[in-house]
């Protein structure tokens, strides 16, 4: 703590010094040393905070006295690295200000990029992206490959957060190829993020290969700083393929180093997947303690990755199961707040990444193509053809999209009308029933069918024709004939229809269910798997559960 105060005081002294005579404030042993020497001393892990403060101050004074804007920007960058979090962004502003005085695009771009990284480390993603985009606008005017790839890496981080994993993978693979040449940390960082991306797209085998490679490469290059991150990544990977004991072992072994580094984001991710692993192993009480740690970091740092919101859902279901409604309500409110934050952050980042980054890249590609076509003297014809094709394509996509939305709305309204017609039309028995049973037997089975339709038995997962016929004290053949005659459906379609109607009606009446995942909704309706639930819902209604909920929310908002 004392070291932090020394750093703060040294910076304040430098900021208010006169340009004349400030060189005298540099100790005699350092005054004639060059910037590289002073920087190497700053980076020396063997010196204490007081000594580092002297070198930081000397670097800054030397740059100010010489009006060397590049080194002055680097001086503030040094302070960004070593200062406490509360002052990092202030120094980042000074770093950008010094770079701007140089009027050098490369230097300005590098400063904005460093400022964006400072925001990203605090997981203030919106601000980080803004400064990445400003940095990119300067860097693309230069030939500095290192800065170009550094910008690509950081844009890749934002794309990963947004869930554009394919695009992020392409960027990280480019960065691996470039940084492997002469930037060990950049190389290992890119490898780590590539493995995390493969994890998220479900390629768990390739994720494990990347993690193993990262550990081996770090040891070969004598840089093991990233090893805990590869172990952490593999722990998450093992959790997702249901090797929960191994997941717990790996994540727990990696967390101390990650926590010591102040990386609250990966610490929170580790806590979430520890909780998820313990939950899957049946130790729900211990799982809850880890989900609460995720919540504590969210409260302190306002950081929550979209996949981690499931922790709130599990806490809500846990406290409901043990009857603590006040705690259940508390976490419901927390989840709703988190969803608003995620939606706001996601929408902002997605808009910026497409409008100000991807569009800019596309425009650059378009300009390059146009120049090439001009050189070949048939620019006009090809350019017009490309534009016409793009317009036709866009119009086709928009038309298809609007038609799809209209069809979804029609199917939704049909479903709502069906649900509102709550009383089923019962068919009376006839003299000539056409069935291989007596009229009395037919009436008895039909009566039991109608009672079954109004009972909770429709939610049983392993229900089949034979089992239901046993409940009715009849045989499967009679039951199948009754359902076919009076409900005009095969048994499976009939049972799926009841389950779908049940869950659709419940979603309409209980708004909390509108935030449930398809998996949770399927379990509530009594389906044995998420895939069977979604397929049954789409078969019975013509729309997916997500489309139904989206249209339902529109109606509810219109009525409020």
Identify whether the C-beta of residue 110 lies closer than 8 Å to the C-beta of residue 135. Answer: yes
- 195 CB-near residues (< 8 Å, 6+ apart): 206, 207, 210, 211, 214, 230, 233, 237
Out of 254-268, 415-429, 545-559, least confident range: 415-429
In the prediction, which pLDDT does 249 show?
A: 97
State the number of CA atoms in the 13 A half-sphere of 537 facing the CB.
Answer: 26
Q: What is the dihedral of CA 83, 86, 87, 89, to 10 degrees?
A: 110
Q: In this structure, what DSSP letter does residue 182 have? A: T
Q: In this structure, what DSSP letter does residue 462 have? A: T
- pLDDT, tens only, 132-150: 788 778 878 888 888 888 8
- 504 CB-near residues (< 8 Å, 6+ apart): 415, 419, 537, 541, 548
291-313: burial string, b at 16+ Cβ within 10 Å, e else: bebbbebbeeeebbeeebbbbbb
In the prediction, which pLDDT does 345 show?
A: 65
Confidence of residue 256 (pLDDT cuts 50, 70, 90): very high
Identify whether the C-beta of residue 206 lies closer than 8 Å to the C-beta of residue 234. Answer: no
In the prediction, which pLDDT does 17 show?
A: 41
181 or 357, which is more confident? 181
In the prediction, which pLDDT does 267 show?
A: 96
In the prediction, which pLDDT does 233 show?
A: 96
Q: Taking Cα atoms as reference points, which of 454, 452, 428, 455 lies closest to residue 442? A: 428
Q: What is the dihedral of CA 440, 441, 444, 449, to 10 degrees?
A: -140
Out of 250-264, 327-341, 377-391, least confident range: 377-391
State the number of CA atoms in the 13 A half-sphere of 278 facing the CB.
Answer: 20
In the prediction, which pLDDT does 346 show?
A: 58
Average of per-residue pLDDT across 116-133? 76
Q: Taking Cα atoms as reference points, which of 82, 3, 83 lies closest to residue 43? A: 82
In the prediction, which pLDDT does 222 show?
A: 93
Q: What are φ and ψ of residue 104, in 5° steps?
A: -105, 120
- pLDDT, tens only, 149-186: 888 888 888 788 777 888 889 999 999 999 999 899 99
- The CA–CA distances, whole Å, from 496 to 22, 516, 540 equal 82, 20, 8
Q: Is 421 helix (H, G, I), strand (E, B) or coil?
A: coil
In the prediction, which pLDDT does 369 show?
A: 38
Identify whether the C-beta of residue 71 lies closer than 8 Å to the C-beta of residue 25. Answer: no
In the prediction, which pLDDT does 25 show?
A: 66
- pLDDT, tens only, 410-460: 887 887 887 777 544 444 444 445 566 778 778 888 888 888 888 888 888
In the prediction, which pLDDT does 5 show?
A: 42
In the prediction, which pLDDT does 366 show?
A: 43
Q: In this structure, what DSSP letter does residue 49 have? A: H
Confidence of residue 207 (pLDDT cuts 50, 70, 90): very high
Alpha carbons 305 and 230: distance in angstroms, whole number: 19
159 or 218, which is more confident? 218
Alpha carbons 326 and 349: distance in angstroms, whole number: 35
Per the document, the length of the chain is 560
Q: What is the dihedral of CA 464, 467, 468, 469, to 10 degrees?
A: 120
Which residue in the block uniquely carries the two structure tokens 């068919």? 427
Q: Taking Cα atoms as reference points, which of 551, 538, 442, 468 lies closest to residue 497? A: 538
Confidence of residue 4 (pLDDT cuts 50, 70, 90): very low
- pLDDT, tens only, 299-353: 998 888 888 889 999 999 999 899 998 888 888 888 888 888 777 765 555 555 4
What's the predicted TM-score (pTM) here?
0.52
Mean pLDDT of the chain: 81
Burial class (CB in 10 A: 0-12, 13-18, 19+), 422: exposed
In the prediction, which pLDDT does 514 show?
A: 87
Q: Taking Cα atoms as reference points, which of 544, 445, 541, 552 lies closest to residue 493? A: 541
DSSP codes joined into one string, 356-372? IIIHHHHHHHHHHHHHH
DSSP codes joined into one string, 203-229? -HHHHHHHHHHHHHHHHHTT--TTHHH
Average of per-residue pLDDT across 109-118? 79
Q: What percent of the chain has pLDDT over 70?
A: 85
Alpha carbons 232 and 357: distance in angstroms, whole number: 31
Angle between helices 85-102 and 69-82 (to 10 degrees): 170
Q: Which of 90-104, 240-254, 430-444, 466-480 has the highest mean pLDDT?
A: 240-254
Average of per-residue pLDDT across 456-472? 83
In the prediction, which pLDDT does 224 show?
A: 93
- pLDDT, tens only, 496-536: 888 888 888 888 888 888 889 999 898 888 888 899 989 98
């Amino acid at each position: 703590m004392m070291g932090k105060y020394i750093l703060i005081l040294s910076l304040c002294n430098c900021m208010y010094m006169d340009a004349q005579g400030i060189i005298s404030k540099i100790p005699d042993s350092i005054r004639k040393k060059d910037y590289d020497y002073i920087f190497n001393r700053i980076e020396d892990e063997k010196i204490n905070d007081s000594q580092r403060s002297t070198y930081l101050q000397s670097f800054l004074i030397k740059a100010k006295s010489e009006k060397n804007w590049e080194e002055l920007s680097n001086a503030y960058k040094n302070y960004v690295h070593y200062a406490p979090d509360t002052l990092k962004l202030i120094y980042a502003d000074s770093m950008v200000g010094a770079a701007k005085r140089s009027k050098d695009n490369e230097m300005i771009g590098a400063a904005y990029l460093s400022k964006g990284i400072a925001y990203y480390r605090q997981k203030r993603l919106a601000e980080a992206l803004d400064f990445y985009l400003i940095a990119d606008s300067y860097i693309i005017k230069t030939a500095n490959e290192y800065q170009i790839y550094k910008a690509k890496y950081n844009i890749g981080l934002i794309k990963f957060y947004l869930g554009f994993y394919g695009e992020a993978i392409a960027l990280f693979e480019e960065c691996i190829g470039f940084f492997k040449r002469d930037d060990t940390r950049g190389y290992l960082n890119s490898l780590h993020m590539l493995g995390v991306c493969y994890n998220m797209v479900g390629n768990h085998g390739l994720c494990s290969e990347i993690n193993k490679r990262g550990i081996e490469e770090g040891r070969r290059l004598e840089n093991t700083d990233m090893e805990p991150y590869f172990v952490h990544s593999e722990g998450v990977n093992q959790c997702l393929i249901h090797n929960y004991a191994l997941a717990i072992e790996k994540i727990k072994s990696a967390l101390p180093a990650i926590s010591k580094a102040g990386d609250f984001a990966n610490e929170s991710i580790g806590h979430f997947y520890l909780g998820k692993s313990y939950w899957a192993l049946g130790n729900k009480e211990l799982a809850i303690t880890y989900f609460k740690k995720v919540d504590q970091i969210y409260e302190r740092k306002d950081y929550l990755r979209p996949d981690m919101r499931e922790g709130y859902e599990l806490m809500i279901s846990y406290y409901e199961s043990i009857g603590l409604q006040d705690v259940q309500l508390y976490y419901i409110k927390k989840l709703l707040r988190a969803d608003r934050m995620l939606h706001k952050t996601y929408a902002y980042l997605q808009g910026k990444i497409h409008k100000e980054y991807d569009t800019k890249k596309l425009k650059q590609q378009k300009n390059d193509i146009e120049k090439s076509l001009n050189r070949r003297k048939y620019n006009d014809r090809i350019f017009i053809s490309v534009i016409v094709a793009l317009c036709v394509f866009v119009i086709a996509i928009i038309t298809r999209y609007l038609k799809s939305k209209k069809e979804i709305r029609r199917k939704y309204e049909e479903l709502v009308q069906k649900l509102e017609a709550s009383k089923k039309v019962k068919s009376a028995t006839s003299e000539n029933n056409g069935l291989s049973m007596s009229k009395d037997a037919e009436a008895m089975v039909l009566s039991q069918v109608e009672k079954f339709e109004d009972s909770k038995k429709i939610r049983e997962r392993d229900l089949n024709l034979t089992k239901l016929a046993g409940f009715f004290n009849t045989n499967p053949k009679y039951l199948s004939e009754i359902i076919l005659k009076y409900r005009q459906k095969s048994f499976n379609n009939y049972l799926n229809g009841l389950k779908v109607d049940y869950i659709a009606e419940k979603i309409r009446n209980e708004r909390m269910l509108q935030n449930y995942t398809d998996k949770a909704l399927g379990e509530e309706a009594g389906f044995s798997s998420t895939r069977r639930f979604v397929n049954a819902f789409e078969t019975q209604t013509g729309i997916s559960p997500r489309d139904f909920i989206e249209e339902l929310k529109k109606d509810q908002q219109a009525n409020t």
